[in-house]
Structure 1
Amino acid sequence: MDNIRTFLRMREYHPNAKFLIRLVRTAPFEDSVVATKTANALMKHVKSKRFDGVLVMFDGIHLEYRSSTAFLEAMSEEKSMMLVFGLSGRRVFGYGAVKRLQEINPLVEHIFLDMGELPSNEEPTRITQINPLFSNTSIPFEETIQGTVDELVKEGILPARIVVGLTAGGWKFEIKESQDPLRISHGIYAVEAGKRVAYQDACKARGAVIYDWKTMNEITVYRQMWMNVNLPLMKAMGEKIKWILGQKFAGFGISDALTDDPRGDCGTDPLPAHRLAMQLIRNTIPANPAKCTRLCYLDPEQVEETFPIDNLRSDYCSHIVVHYFDLDLKNNVVVAEKAESLVKKIDQWRTKIVEIAPKLILSLGSKQVTGVWQFLLGNDFRRKEVAEELVKSMYASTADGLEISWTLEQMASDFDKKNLKALIDDIVTIDVEKKFELVVAATPQSSFSDFYDYEHLNQTVSLIVLHSHRLHSESLPFTGHSSPLRATSSMKDPKMTWESLFNHWAEKKVSRSKIVLSLTASTLSMQSLADMRSSASAPFGQPVFVSMLRSKKSDIHSQQEVCESLETGTGITHWVDVADVPYLRRYDQMVAYENTLSSHIKAVWASMKGVGGLALHNIHQDDPSAVCNNRTSFPLLDSLSRAQVCQKCLKQHDFKKCAQHDFVVSCSFDLKKNMPLFKTDIVPYERCTEVVVEQAKLSLGGNITFKDSQQEQVLRNLTTMRPKMLKCGMVLSLSCGDSEKHLNHILGDNMTSAINNVMSVMEKYKFSGVQLDCEKAIRRGNHIFFSNFVKKLVKKFENTKASNGCNRTLSARFSPFTRTPSSYYSISLLNRLSHVSIRMTDKNQVDLPFFFNTSNPDFPSTEKFVKLWKNFGLKPEKLVLELSPFGWQEGKKEGEKIKMTQGETCVAVGNKAVYQQNYEILTGSTSHANGTVHIPLIEDFRYKIGYIQREQLGGLALNSVNGDDYTGICGRGSFPILKSVYSSTKCR
């Protein structure tokens, strides 16, 4: 009890740490009932002692028994407690261990993998290395950290779920007198059982010292003593820790403090391994480069020294832009105050990132008035001096680029336009080594006045950052928003919107890939002269009090302050439709700001328009310390990174060749009936990597049956087309029925017959592959039958070619409602299939919302299920999203959906209907005489393709080509949804 109290008192010094109690059990539970009772009693006891959670270590053969899962299931029901499961490396390779770990994985926060004991430790007298990282000639792969982790990852337990346990100290063995200590290696037998040795004892040992660069261990030999130690130095244990951090594991641990020289007997500071670990954690940020262009702006004058830059994830920003250079009438170019110290801090952060760090861009002149720019650039000699000093400074810096930001005030004439162009040309000419990229910032006012040479910028600079976050100013005598998406009827100047500014630059033939649109984490506070409560329906255009003397101390400035105002009830938030922005009303103040929803909408909208990138200004005001929800630092950046996609143009596959397709386009064709006007000879196979034929059924006796003769006739019609399809795949969708009992009869007694019949049907109808649609019939009781069935099919397919000469394909199809895939399927087996198609539709064959619903975060979404399957270990390149072209009309009953094809929608609402976009669900909606119609638009499909590419998934499946506009009645030609996969002017 005293030890527990002493331990928990450490909370005073480590307020953010989680304090877990470690429970070790050696003997398996008698049964699941005993396991559950024990778990409930333990959790009650642990809660009474006020621990934050439990680390459960099973030191035995527990994983062979189902009761171990029951124990952890019972413990996981206590949601307020953190639950971590731990096991030693030696237990990973036990009978059925990985399968049991797949069941345990979703129940716990992390899996702690203690690498202090390896499989060779089953025999205590066998000489063993401590925590070997890589294998060498004597250490098998499965005895290493890398090999053990690979075994788990192969079965779907990802690195992000694993905490790797390292050991302070090492092993000591006494060897036979006849053995040469210098020739001893891992696995050889010693005289007696090995002993664990603490580092404070090992550091005093005498003898010859050898360093093993594979295991990263130090070996000491003296007479008949052989000892290896986890040396707490950067070149030894440090290399293991850096490897773990680089592989994006959940973390690592060191056991234990008592063997890590706690008194400093070895002549260094106490606890050297723990100190080394903390040093590396502080100085290492897991690399995860931004997948799209995203600029993050910081102003040295506003950023405090305590700014927690380490909270900034490496994938949030592709570039970090710092106001660095000021223009000066006397000295031409000077470094801005506090800029050097901020850049130094950013460089230290960038060096911590294991791989590719965000680029650093130094900004010039964003705080100088137009008169200063005109004075320095209007004279050819001084302008060239400015350019030379800039290039010299850039060469001496660590920066990757320079931003020219004539933005504090707008430019005044075409003369300014000419001088800006000349400065750019001077810099490009002087930068003979092409060491840095050039970025130009542009204001809305100068843009609409055409004070930029659009063609010249298109040819010379990397990016053009539009200040679309400054579309309204506090100096204007009426209310507005700094970055409305579209114009509302109450806006004084309808041009001052994201949409208008972007369209202006696009119409000037500037490459979309160079355009960057901006938003800001800071707020815009206005003091209203009207009663804001009565003007909530038209918040823009209301009169405000404008004075240079108005105190701004009480204004809201940041995302954190917005949260605090809402939580305390002093502010009320409102949403402005059409503009798609929020504002906060507090007393007589109107505060325009961005929230996660408005930034999400902007990111999706910009992605759909093919905008080259996004910029968030003043990121230091984006709640960097996660005060708002105590969970997400930089919430606006987080929202942008989740929603922004950068679609790359897809090269259409060659259906005349057998090839492994980088991007699957699977097209399902419904055999239920030969739909009116849909003839089999118009199936657009050349646009598909495979055509999936819906659907045959695996029936009793292992036979393959179709619903009726009409289906078989349609299939025969398709078969006659097979020669025209050349190398395009034709795949049979095969259902396993709706009941567990049905599938058990087939696979239990007739598996061989079923496999032979599958091969026979493939030959008869010239199918090149099979897609298994068996989810409804698979339960815990028969998933082993299903796995054996799949394994045998895979082997059968590998030994023969399809009728078109290509490899046969075997895929599987699941609904999003399989919440724990590893409980029913072997993830490693699924990763061997051609692909796994996840049906992202509801019972009406209509797509689920793509992103989570802000009003109901628990509602299922495509984004959520993609993460779920990836977290369970399905390789991203194997995961194919099944999307639907169908829309729906709201029925008379509540919640009723009447399914509609693309063509039926056009007939109902007309070709010129205007759709309102929903940027979370990713559908368009429009109203007509009979109600409201919701339909996925081409823009939605293109966005989803960009998401699939960004997440590096395997491709997409169209769940019914019959639902596309196959007649061309909508005026966009036949199959416009399918054709949009390859044809887009907004990809790059």
Structure 2
Amino acid sequence: MNMDYIFDSYRRVCYHTNWSQYRTSTGKFMPTDIGPDFCTHLIYSFAKLQGNKLHSFEWNDESTPWMKGMYAKFNELKTQNPNLKTLIAVGGWTLGSKPFSHMSATDADRREFARTSVAFLRNHDFDGLDIDWEYPTKRSGSTTADKRNYIELLKILKQEFDAETKTTGKPKLILSAAVPAGKSNIDSGYNIPEMVKYLEMVNLMTYDLHGSWETKTGHNSGLFKHTGETGDAASMNLDWAANYWVKGGMPASMINVGLAMYGRGFTLRNPGSHGLESPSRSPSDAGPFTGEKGFMAYYEICELLQTGGTRHYLADQMVPYVVKGSQWIGYEDVDSIRTKVKYIKQHGFGGTMIWALDLDDFHGNCGQGKFPLINAINDELKRSGGPVIQPVQQSTPLVNSQTTTQHLTTTSTTIKPKVINTTKGVSKEAAVINGGGCIY
């Protein structure tokens, strides 16, 4: 079997954040730090809406006569990998819903956006557009008409992309969308069968499923539900969300399943009780480079592990968390990422998506080489066979058990943990969030 052919059949979508350039010291990340062969699709985040037009967000996104802009540096990666496709994302959590709701409200406004977007993409050498509307019908400034208008917007964008290709002979621009994992957001804002007609792919944000906006610990990106969960709580996991989109009419082959290069954390009320759903009193401390409470890049989590943090493993959700004093952070590591990629392959999904490149260990400070999580994704996509990834079946509840202290070292790329778990229920879907650009 030609494993290179199998590997090439998967999309590997990677988001790049234009604010990571402002981090200090080793946290600073630039387009030149991106390996041109890491991904099949690179998405630059974010552009904003100015009226009915795409507009750059940062002062140095666009080139000037005296300065090469970030767009140009980003798209130069295609000179090293001619097969690479680059897109720009418009929206994100910070932009919210109101600008999209306003722009998509009339046919004339939608057409102005679509027409001018084609020119914007071509002028800056992007190969496509990623619509990251968070979320139709939800949040301030939204209306109940957003669900219909979202589809009309996609329809007109596809029409304009098709027409431009017919007129110019250029390869057709790619149209994709970032979409939520939470049931209420999906049901209220997305007509899935209609979306299939206009999009080339969707990037499913299967992370930010729990976080410090809640009052007890929960994992950001569990693969399966936690033992004993029912109702809304049982839907807050990758397996449920990905399959809900498929059941709703989205072909699995169109879905790029999201993988987090970061963790979300809590400050425990009682550091002596640190199992899943332990009471928390506030977000975890901000990472030294990312600077956001309740959020840490993988390379910042590695530092916790290297300086006395203890790694624990949630066997039913197949993900780790680290505890150091009162700090509790659920995250992904090489082992959990490999498990998820196996799941993605076994269920016939079209590929992987990561948020975000700058949050992996791009300097190799974890002792696992540079970009260990991205390399784990790519390596696992090349593999064949392996056991089928299924939820843990348990006839009796697991109970809390203290793991032995395990530190990340330079001599091992994985950590073999003992199991820790709980049997409590999980809070209902939170209504909020984010700092990097995605929510369920």
TM-score range, shorter chain: 0.7 to 0.9
Asked if 1:325 corresponds to 2:10, the answer is no
Q: Partners of 1:618 and 1:424 in 2: how far apart? A: 25
Q: Partners of 1:374 and 1:590 in 2: how far apart? A: 37
Shift of 1:450: 4.7
Contact 1:314 1:357 in 2 (8 A): no
Task: Considering Cα pairs closer than 8 Å and 6+ residues apart, tell me whether 1 or 2 has the greater RCO.
Answer: 2
Q: Partners of 1:642 and 1:410 in 2: how far apart? A: 39
**Number of residues of Structure 1 aligned to a counterpart in Structure 2:** 359
Equivalent in the alignment of 1:398: 125
Shift of 1:474: 2.6
Instruction: Say which of 202, 217, 221 aligns to 1:464.
Output: 202
Asked if 1:302 corresponds to 2:20, the answer is yes
Equivalent in the alignment of 1:543: 279
Query: Aligned runs of 1:23-172 on 2, under 5 Å?
Result: none
Change (3 A) 1:333 1:612: same
Q: Which runs of 5+ in 2 are unaligned?
A: 1-6, 63-68, 166-171, 396-440
Contact 2:287 2:296 in 1 (8 A): no
Secondary structure of the 1:438 match is: strand
Contact 2:71 2:124 in 1 (8 A): no
Query: One-letter code of the match for 2:38?
Result: Y
Change (3 A) 1:448 1:383: closer
Contact 1:466 1:517 in 2 (8 A): yes
Equivalent in the alignment of 1:167: none
Query: One-letter code of the match for 1:315?
Result: D
Calculate the TM-score normalised by the size of structure 1.
0.34
Contact 1:612 1:646 in 2 (8 A): no
Equivalent in the alignment of 1:516: 256
Asked if 1:334 corresponds to 2:61, the answer is no
Query: One-letter code of the match for 2:251?
Result: S
Query: One-letter code of the match for 1:459?
Result: K
Instruction: Say which of 506, 530, 534 aligns to 2:273.
Output: 534
Shift of 1:614: 0.7
Equivalent in the alignment of 1:416: 146
Q: Partners of 2:365 and 2:83 in 1: how far apart? A: 26
Contact 1:474 1:526 in 2 (8 A): yes
Asked if 1:623 corresponds to 2:358, the answer is no
Contact 1:326 1:365 in 2 (8 A): yes
Q: Partners of 1:514 and 1:321 in 2: how far apart? A: 17
Q: Partners of 2:119 and 2:388 in 1: how far apart? A: 49
Equivalent in the alignment of 1:293: 11
Equivalent in the alignment of 1:525: 265
Shift of 1:586: 1.8
Query: Aligned runs of 1:565-964 on 2, under 5 Å?
Result: 565-569=304-308, 571-629=309-367, 632-644=369-381
User: How large is the RMSD of aligned CA atoms in angstroms?
Assistant: 3.0
Contact 1:323 1:336 in 2 (8 A): no
Equivalent in the alignment of 2:75: 347
Shift of 1:579: 0.5
Calculate the TM-score normalised by the size of structure 2.
0.74
Change (3 A) 1:331 1:427: closer
Identity %: 21
Shift of 1:291: 5.0
Asked if 1:379 corresponds to 2:106, the answer is yes
Change (3 A) 1:605 1:551: closer
Equivalent in the alignment of 1:115: none
Equivalent in the alignment of 2:176: 439
Instruction: Say which of 218, 222, 225 aligns to 1:480.
Output: 218
Change (3 A) 1:311 1:603: same
Shift of 1:511: 1.1
Equivalent in the alignment of 2:115: 388
Secondary structure of the 1:322 match is: strand
Instruction: Say which of 148, 155, 171 aligns to 1:425.
Output: 155
Query: One-letter code of the match for 2:86?
Result: L
Change (3 A) 1:594 1:633: same
- The one-character-per-residue Cα deviations of 1:315-373 (angstroms, maximum 9, x if unpaired) are 32111111142023x464321114343322222333234xx342101111113112222
Contact 2:13 2:354 in 1 (8 A): yes
Q: Partners of 1:490 and 1:543 in 2: how far apart? A: 18
Q: Partners of 1:371 and 1:339 in 2: how far apart? A: 23
Q: Which runs of 5+ in 1 are unaligned?
A: 1-288, 648-849, 852-916, 929-988
Change (3 A) 1:552 1:450: same
Shift of 1:646: 10
* Structure ID, larger Rg: 1
